[in-house]
Amino acid sequence: MKQMDKPFDIIISETVSVAMVALLVIAGTVLLLRQLDRVERFLRVCAWCRKVWLDDRWIVFKEYVKKEHMLKSTAFVPNVLTS
């Protein structure tokens, strides 16, 4: 069917439908990009030695905490003190 053969209200409703689908796709893309940004900020930790990947090298976790968060380790797990 040619565009001119369709009634005006059908053309408008099709245009609105396409615009709504486009908005949903854009919104979904934005959500995916936000999730990707969060994933990229995850901390890479070695499963074997527990070292952390930072500035293109593996460092001990304590060093990471000191460097990235300017914290000192002063807390202990309660079970560690009793054993």
Residues 38 and 1 in one domain: yes
Together in a domain, 7 and 37: yes
CA distance 59 to 66: 11
Same domain, 72 and 62: yes
* The pLDDT value given to residue 38: 81
Same domain, 34 and 48: no
Q: Are residues 32 and 49 in the same domain?
A: no
Give yes or no: residues 36 and 57 share one domain. no
Residues 15-70: tens digit of each pLDDT: 999 999 999 999 999 999 998 888 777 888 899 998 998 888 999 988 888 877 76
Is the same domain home to 50 and 34? no
What is the 3-state secondary structure of the chain?
Answer: CCHHHCCHHHHHHHHHHHHHHHHHHHHHHHHHHHHHHHHHCCCCECCCCCCEEECCEEECHHHHHHHHHCCCCCCCCHHHHHC
CB atoms within 10 A of CB 52: 19
Residues 51 and 34 placed together within one structural domain of the fold: no
Number of domains in the chain: 2
Measured in degrees and rounded to the nearest 5, phi and psi for residue 53 equal: -85, 120
Domain of 17 in residue numbering reads as: 1-42
